[in-house]
Amino acid sequence: MSPLTQNAGRRLSAADHRRLDELFARFEELGPRCIGYPCNRDWDYSELYRFLSFNANNVGDPFQGSLYRQNTHDFEREVLAKFAEFTRADPGAYWGYVTSGGTEGNMYGLYLARELHPEGIVYFSEQSHYSVPKILRLQHTRNIMIRSQGNGEMDYDDLRETLKLHRDVPPIIFANIGTTMHGAIDDLDRIKAILAELAIPSHYIHADAALSGMILPFVGDPQPWCFADGVDSISISGHKLIGAPLPCGVVLAREAHVDRIARSVEYVGVNDTTIGGSRSAFSPLVLWYALRRLGDGGLKEIVDRSLTSAGYAVAALRDRGIDAWRGENSITVVFPRPPEALIERWEIAPDRDIGHIITLPHVTTDAIDAFADDFASALAPSP
């Protein structure tokens, strides 16, 4: 008798069932008001749930065969090929894998940069994702934080003057392609011009494009952000604009860089080129399903709808006397920090003196109007 058959009669207690029911009810109640975080809720992956019955594992390099064959490496490669197209990577010269999310993608990019430039210094702005200082501490990489501007972009004058002091050390530039709080995109052309001005030939640029990496491929006039614009690696989230039931993402890098750090592992019969050993085989399936079902046209519709909603949100808040704004090609709407009760009710993301909402498809105009009304009422003087 198999262990599954032996345990078939075991059941949760009534109290445990109630806890699960209460959790489900809480998630359902919070969902419509979750407008401050970049997690699209407009999806349905029920067709894939049957695959959760297997011990699928995408251990190792997705571009090589593995001795553990219950994997989705073939689906993962198709996902990577599509993201390579979005990021304008050379079709024959990229490598990547599906990650657990943006933090792992950033960790991989910075790890690769550090391996290529062991003495290098990482330059990142104060608006970079909160995981970046943690990653740099874990990797013991030399680093310098650069000031940011009011719109969230890197302060290029500060970058120039700081680079001047360390011209003998290869710089590793951590470029924000959509900052967490402002949705700001660091100007790659200006960064590269500074490197050229200072005659710094050896450098590495990693792009954190967690959210905007799925927006910029579908707008008419995107800012420079991808491989064609000079980056060496890119991290993009999958659970943000596309939407997924679990955190996931993609990291891509120039294959020549990755080849220099690959190590073979006999146990699984595959190169150990990723951060994790065992990796989710379900996440690549989710991304593959979304990309195939939506197609480029469906993704563009999501982007267009989200950008339109962002414009609507700015206007709705301004009409109620609230100073709201957003950056170019951004669906992050920024405003003065709301009262704490409003932050809790609407799951608003705050940082010091500002807050924001992110107008992904599940954020309807009705929700925007309701939030704007609540915000205006909270600011109104008491009678």
What does DSSP assign to residue 280? B
State how far the Cα of 79 lies from the Cα of 65, in Å rounded to an integer. 17
Tokens of 131: 């995981």
Tokens of 96: 């990547």
330 is catalytic: yes
Q: β-pairing, 204-208 with 171-176?
A: parallel
Cβ atoms within 10 A of the Cβ of 208, count?
A: 31
State how far the Cα of 40 lies from the Cα of 243, in Å rounded to an integer. 5
State how far the Cα of 314 lies from the Cα of 28, in Å rounded to an integer. 27
Rg (Cα) of the chain, in Å, rounded? 22
Active-site residue (options: 233, 330, 377, 382): 330
State how far the Cα of 337 lies from the Cα of 360, in Å rounded to an integer. 20
Strand order across the 332-336 sheet: 332-336, 354-358, 349-351
Please identify which residue in the block is written with the tokens 């909603």: 309
Active site amino acids:
330
